[in-house]
Amino acid sequence: MGLAMSVPQLLIILVIVALIFGTKRLKEVGGDLGSAVKSFRKAMNSVENHEDEPAGPPKQLTSEQPQPQPQQQEKK
């Protein structure tokens, strides 16, 4: 009772999808999907590489917020 499909069933589904969307649109979707997977893998490898590097000392955060200016009192 699973969702297992045979090869002929998958081919029929692929032909129906190609007829509905057209081959040009399927190429665009496939290219977008491929670039998304590539980007995801690159990000995962980047995270793994950064985990291997030894952690340095924490950086000192500096406050670069402007100092509040004194408020002027209104004269009546």
Residue 64's pLDDT band (cuts 50, 70, 90): low
DSSP 64: -
75 in a domain, yes or no?
Answer: no
Q: How many domains does the chain have?
A: 1
pLDDT tens, position by position, 6-46: 999 999 998 998 898 888 888 898 899 999 999 999 988 88
68 in a domain, yes or no?
Answer: no
Residue 2's pLDDT band (cuts 50, 70, 90): low
CB distance 18 to 26 below 8 Å: yes
- Whole-number pLDDT of residue 63: 64
15 in a domain, yes or no?
Answer: no
Length of the chain as a residue count: 76
List the one residue out of 21, 41, 40 whose CA is nearest residue 29: 21
Dihedral (C-alpha) 53, 58, 59, 61: value to the nearest 10 degrees? 140
73 in a domain, yes or no?
Answer: no
Domain that includes residue 34, residue range: 22-50
Is the pTM value of this prediction over 0.85?
no
